Structure 1
Amino acid sequence: MKNYQEVSVQSLTTGQKRMSVLIIAIMFFVFGFVTWINAILIPYFKLAFELNHFESYLVAFAFYIAYLVMSLPAGYFLNRFGFKTGMMLGFFVMSVGAFLFIPAGAVRSYPLFLLGLFTLGIGLSVLQTAANPYVTILGDKERAAQRFSIMGICNKMAGIIAPLLFAAIILKPEDKEYFESILTLSPQEKNLALNGLTQRVIVPYGIVGVVLIGLGLLIKFSPLPEINTSEDGKSDLSDAKVKPNIFAFPHLVLGSVAIFFHVGSQVIAVDSIINYAQHHGLSFYDAKTFPSYTLTATIIGYLLGIFLIPKYISQLSALKFCTCFGLILSTGILFFNGEINLLGYHTDVSVWFLVLLGFANSMIWAGVWPLALSDLGKYLKIGASLLVMALCGNAILPMLYGYFADYMGLREAYWVLIPCYAYLIYYAFHGYKLRNWKT
């Protein structure tokens, strides 16, 4: 039995809906802060632990594989205890993951760092499972992409701030020469230097852990309502009654595959760009700003979405454009090269194609979620769990990229993006329509 009281979406006042959206927006900012900091952890740990590309992408794997492990259990947990209790516990679990960075940094243990990242991912999967249905149902379906764009701006703004803030805290002005000379040190001196590098993360993550505990308590005592997600429209309920389980909804299952490819390709674009920019002549100290450029391109896409959808274009048309543009840019990364000077950086043009992938990715999440969750009725929470589970694409696809980067080359490894965007094009043009597997 449920031990919490639900309310109907229709019973909420405009003020209550706006307050709920504001609370969820704050959560998306936290999601972005914790998530996109991996973009700088990957090259940072690559240096500190002397890893190859494949080993360094275990950072993304450990963090995002938690979604595969936890998302469906999170859906059932939220059904039993409600959103607010679930989100509070999600923040508490994330704080445990942050605190694990303290002993990991003290003893310079990469496996312990990975355990901390996995624990952070466990808590975040609960929060994502709870937050995304709110965005979908707190308003008209036709404007869901607008609301997701607002959440995306919060997420990506945090993604811009987090790596730069993290870098400002743990990196020093003299590190540019230090990183270049560290490999020339004697084994004992190098070991001491690398120990010092890993210990720099202790204080930042200790502070993050305390903040996460505070956020959990704030959510628990916030005015965020417990939404009755089964009331997704009368037609949805009647349709859901004849379906035995969530796997009887082709548009949902295919949508979860689309989310898998989308988030994986998005993380590759952000998390690989520092190493790729270094490969084309930039120092780590200069390349560390490029994830922020990619996320800024994503925010520009969100802002255009808010302005254009649905007044000038539909969210489906935006999805179709972004998936096709993503395939064009991925092809450009593979086949176009040449040095250019832009924003004070002299590097290969393909690095800027990678930056523009942020724009192409901007409206894909916002387009797929409403399409995949439509007509689910009572299955909405579990359906959302299936989509959140697909975030394990963030774990698996970067690992594939890292493997190919070691054995084929950094540019050639971006071939992994081609099937991702090809499938997303299929879903945007056809897959979302399917309501019966026989079709």
Structure 2
Amino acid sequence: MEQNNKSYLGPLFLIGILFFVFGFVTWVNGTLISFFKQAFGLSNTSSYLVTFAFFISYTIMAIPSSYVLKKVGFKKGMSLGLGIMAIGTLIFVPAAKAESYALFLVGLFTIGIGLTLLQTASNPYATILGPRESAAQRISFMGIANKTAGIISQKVFGGILLAGGAAAATAADHLDKVVVPYLILTGVLIILAVLIQLSKGLPEVSEEQEGIDERAFSNKKSVFDFPNLVLGLITLFCYVGVEVIAGDTIISYGISLGFPQEEASQFGTYTLWLMMLGYVLGIFLIPKYVSQQTWLKLSAILGVIVTILALFTTGFTSVICIAILGLANAIMWPAIWPLAIDGLGKFTKIASAWLIMMIAGGAILPLVYGAVADAIQSPQQAYAVMIPLYLFILYYAMSGHKKKSW
């Protein structure tokens, strides 16, 4: 067994690098929102098209990705995903030269397509590369790699893109700041794609390894006959929405409160540090001391309380309240997922694709937040949109997941 565990270390390290890449390209969006808002003079609503373009690709590509992986295999699928992401990052160069916000959004959408394929292919490896009984621990470590990358990307890109500001430069000069970083990122993605393709240590993933039960489980006709799944889809939509709102709006929120750009550019890292704390606590506390269901319940309650505090406090205190939502959101994904697919039998695979599609919450709900902020002229009070989202998550944690028939 010890030898087997050692044999997993190389492939796990490679998968860890991929989770690092996920975090790096995903969490830079918060910086890009503020950067484009200033460069193009955008409203709150228009600036959050960054998250819409990026996350809506998950909804569009979730099911097609499974078909692609069936055709080319998981390892080639990961290389293909990295290659598509490289095309997306490369699009940033002509977008900067053309001063085209729309072209930047095309680049973000393309990155999202590649990332959807990459995540669909790589996530099962966190489960199969090692004993199943320690899979949750491995997933938590992958989450830490993801958030560490997010902290680094926000620090690096915040320092590059938000230094100084747009006032003293033309839009062209401002947008040129993205060219070199995104050319470097393109090169890194291409190198990773080649390394994955040449790797000898990554096994192919079979449906048996994924834990998919293809036997007929019941007389149910479709996934929508399972209330725990349908309510779980809504819950996951809400969760991704509050996670992206908390992580990607905090920089713009800080700037709206009057904090200097250089200082506000680091606020997103506070959210990510607290998410990291949540993962570490999860590793040590779940399930030995606290069940995932109880943790989900406590997380939703914390989300409601801290959101209310963010609405009624001022300045840096309010910013910190938004950052604390990172702790509330940290373990929600792995807690919601097993409750949603419990008892689905042969419907598990298509249910998983539907759950991935609910990442659309990260596309749509930040736009709702931005629209409310513009309508009431208050980015702070617009955070109230998160309260019903957390309340629905709380409902699911307490009783919704137990519902087995309509």
- Whether TM exceeds 0.5 here: the answer is yes
Pick one of 371, 384, 388 that aligns with 1:419.
Answer: 388
CA gap 1:169/1:43 in 2 versus in 1, 3 angstroms: closer
Contact 1:230 1:237 (8 Å CA) reproduced: no
The offset of 1:145, in angstroms, is 3.9
1:231 positional shift? 5.4
Show the counterpart of 1:225: 203
How far is the alpha carbon of 1:89 from its aligned partner?
Answer: 1.0
| Cα RMSD after superposing both structures | 2.4
CA contact (8 A) 1:28 1:152 kept: yes
Equivalent of 1:99, from 90, 95, 99? 90
**Aligned counterpart, 1:152:** 143
CA contact (8 A) 2:124 2:205 kept: no
Alpha-carbon offset, residue 142 of structure 1: 6.5
Structure 1 residue 263 corresponds to structure 2 residue 240: yes
In structure 1, the partner of 2:358 is 390
Tell me how far apart the structure 2 counterparts of residues 427 and 146 of structure 1 sit (CA, whole Å): 24
Which residue is equivalent to 2:291? 314
Residue 365 of structure 1 corresponds to 333
Distance 1:169 1:55 in 2: 22
Q: Distance in 1 between matches of 2:22 and 2:44?
A: 25
Give the Cα separation in 1 of the matches to 2:19 and 2:242: 20
Structure 2 spans left out of the alignment, 5+ residues: none
Match of 1:352 in 2: 320
Instruction: State the AA in 2 paired with 1:305.
Output: G
> What is the alpha-carbon distance in structure 2 between the residues aligned to residue 116 and residue 233 of structure 1?
35
Distance 1:232 1:168, change over 3 A: closer
8 Å Cα contact 1:330/1:414 also seen in 2 = yes
Mapped pair 1:44 → 2:35: yes
What is residue 154 of structure 2 aligned with on the other side? 163
2:173 to 196, 210, 218: 196
Paired with 1:153 and 1:203, the residues of 2 have a C-alpha distance of 27
Instruction: Name the residue aligned to 2:125.
Output: 134
Q: Distance in 2 between matches of 1:138 and 1:429?
A: 33
Q: Is residue 5–residue 130 contact of structure 2 (8 Å, CA) maintained in 1? A: no
Higher mean displacement: 46-55 or 347-356: 347-356
Q: Hey, what does 1:281 align to over in structure 2? A: 258
Contact 2:228 2:402 in 1 (8 A): yes
Q: For 1:232 and 1:45, how far apart are their aligned partners in 2?
A: 40
Residues 236 and 333 in structure 2, CA contact (< 8 A), matched pair in contact too: yes
Identity among equivalent positions (%) equals: 46
**1:359-402 CA deviation, whole Å, 9 max, x = no partner?**
11111112112333444455444333222111111110000000
Q: Deviations over 1:225-283 (max 9, x none)?
A: 2222345669x554647554444443333322222111111111111111211222311
Give the distance between the partners of 1:355 and 1:128, measured in 2 at CA.
26
SS at match of 1:100: helix
How far 1:17 sits from its partner (Å)?
Answer: 4.5
User: Using a 3 Å threshold, how does the CA distance of structure 1 residues 290 and 306 change in structure 2: closer, same or farther?
Assistant: same
**After the TM superposition, which of the residue ranges 297-306 and 82-91 deviates more from structure 2?**
82-91
Please state how far the C-alpha of 1:18 moved relative to its aligned partner.
Answer: 4.5
CA distance in 2, matches of 1:171, 1:328: 31
Q: CA deviation at 1:216?
A: 1.7
TM-score scaled to structure 2, two decimals?
A: 0.92
Moved more, 213-222 or 33-42: 213-222
- In 2: Cα distance, 1:161 partner to 1:380 partner: 36
Partner of 1:81: 72
Contact kept, 8 Å, 1:59 with 1:114, in 2: the verdict is yes
Q: Which moved more, 1:135-144 or 1:350-359?
A: 135-144
Instruction: Provide structure 1 residue ranges, at least 5 long, that are not aligned to the other structure.
Output: 1-9, 183-191, 339-346
In 2, Cα distance between the equivalents of 1:231 and 1:148?
Answer: 16
Comparing 208-217 and 129-138, the one that deviates more? 129-138
Opposite residue 111 of structure 1, the aligned amino acid is: A
Q: Aligned pairs, how many? A: 403
Inter-partner Cα distance in structure 2 for 1:365 and 1:358: 12
